[in-house]
Structure 1
């Protein structure tokens, strides 16, 4: 998934993680600082270039927010050479890469609240950073960590074969997953594939998480909105609720939307961030980021609401 940046208001930046790895990203910054204006970090889905979210970032900026996009290590602007043998994992993407962006937000936008939008794994990454207590508002879209039993029943076996059999097999042969050549994803590091294709119901039992004595999810006390789409085969109710349960210190709301609720026939796992949903779906996220509340007459059904 790639996209060109839509306007010249964004500028590229580099940021070093705690282990020295150089991350690349883009930011939308208003000229004058304002302690009442949030800076929003957008966490991408697994192996999706951050540019895919550029139009959504531009939308948030146009409504008065500062915004940062970044690529996880090994992806897009944060890829440095071959991925063969590169062992970066989901836990690295959260505990090192997203953590670096949280610290950047505090340094570059001092005094401003920090909000986060996390798509798919990006919602999980929001709970893996040691500085997660800095997050004020969190919006996730289709966020889960790919436990195969949570996949939509009518697609479960095909998805199991694709992501939990073929992907790890090809990764072992190539030393990384050549997703770009297949047109599925960006090329993906081995450690991420090991995490994704694992069969555990618990994040802490994934390969990259086993060496952690504890995970920082419970340090996040952000007001959290989990948005799921009923035609997303990854983001089923079980999958969304499984991840939400890790954010036990946060007030959290799960809003489930059917495409018909917004006059559409499909949205799926990726299309929330397409600009055609600027008027129907994006205001839901915007209202939560600005005020920590559901917009009036929000489409969909509240599945759970834990205060």
Structure 2
């Protein structure tokens, strides 16, 4: 593994999508003049990109150019009028991630290109039309929020919050007021409702004429995928991880289920692995995959086919 090195401060970037929407983000340059590749960090639903800034800086310290960005409707990419923006969840993949991927490839045409995707951020790459250029992916708790896959012990609570209250509040306000509730960030109405009414098959949320194209885009991705989840992740259960990975039919997939005691913790959950308390543990372990394509947790592997 590369030794840690100094890295330059983050540079604000603006990335223009094909439909003219401008995304706000940051570029974290590789330190020390050595570049191992570019890593795009895809956030979870309703989570600001700044939550991943410390991990992005860590990657910069270890020779990667790292890119963080907010999806349309969120944070630096939030429009003035959230109620009437008309954004759809699938556009985070078909337009936003596609544009960021193009930005990264244009900036470094010949270098390796990696993706770290948290939660829905590990599923979105398959919706982009240019994702065949990805060299390797690391996903963390990646799934698409099909409620029967939630952990049994949390299922009723999550069902009530995200599939009953969220669409109800969205109907009342015209958008989902997550920030005032302390439930992640505000979301455009179309994105909140697509989450609330997610079907068993993601393509069924698209018009019938688009469904074959959705599946073809996933099949075009050939990057090896290491899918990580935690044993106490209420969203990223084994069935949820398997369901999401099944769409990447052309990729070699490896899935691991970490235990809190692997890092001397009482719990991990869905969100904590990008907190900087994991710098010397989980973060350092991820370098084995990003730098060399080696699974650092072979003893935690589970079959990706149920």
TM bucket (normalised to shorter chain) is: over 0.9
- Give the whole-Å Cα distance in 1 for the aligned partners of 2:172 and 2:123: 28
Between the two proteins, the alignment pairs up a number of residues equal to 297
- Aligned pairs for 1:190-209 (under 5 A) are 190-206=189-205
Larger helix share, 1 or 2: 2
1:133 and 1:143 map into 2 onto residues whose CA distance is 19
Q: How does 1:91-170 map to 2 (within 5 A)?
A: 91-170=90-169
Give the Cα separation in 2 of the matches to 1:209 and 1:74: 26
C-alpha displacement at 1:110, in angstroms?
A: 2.0
Q: Distance in 2 between matches of 1:293 and 1:223?
A: 11
Offset, 1:271? 0.2
CA contact (8 A) 2:31 2:61 kept: no
Distance 1:133 1:179 in 2: 34
2:284 matched to which residue of 1? 283
The SS at the match of 2:303 is strand
Listed as ranges, the gaps of 5+ residues in structure 1 are 1-6
* Gap change, CA 1:105 and 1:208, over 3 Å in 2: farther
Q: CA deviation at 1:69?
A: 0.3
Residues 198 and 207, structure 1, Cα contact 8 Å, conserved in 2 = no
- How far has the Cα of 1:213 moved from its partner? 3.7
Q: Is the CA contact 2:31–2:62 (under 8 Å) kept in the aligned structure 1?
A: no
Equivalent in the alignment of 2:10? 10
Moved over 6 A (4+): 31-34
Q: Cα RMSD over matched residues?
A: 1.9
The 3 A distance-change label for structure 1 pair 137 and 209 is farther
Q: Which residue of 2 aligns with 1:254?
A: 255
> Is 2:8–2:30's contact at 8 Å kept on the other side of the alignment?
no
* Structure 2 segments unaligned to the other structure (5+ residues): 1-6
* Equivalent position of 1:29 in the other structure: 29
Corresponding position: 1:63 with 2:62:
yes
Distance 1:213 1:87, change over 3 A: farther
Matched residue SS, 2:91: helix
Q: What is the match of residue 3 of structure 1?
A: none
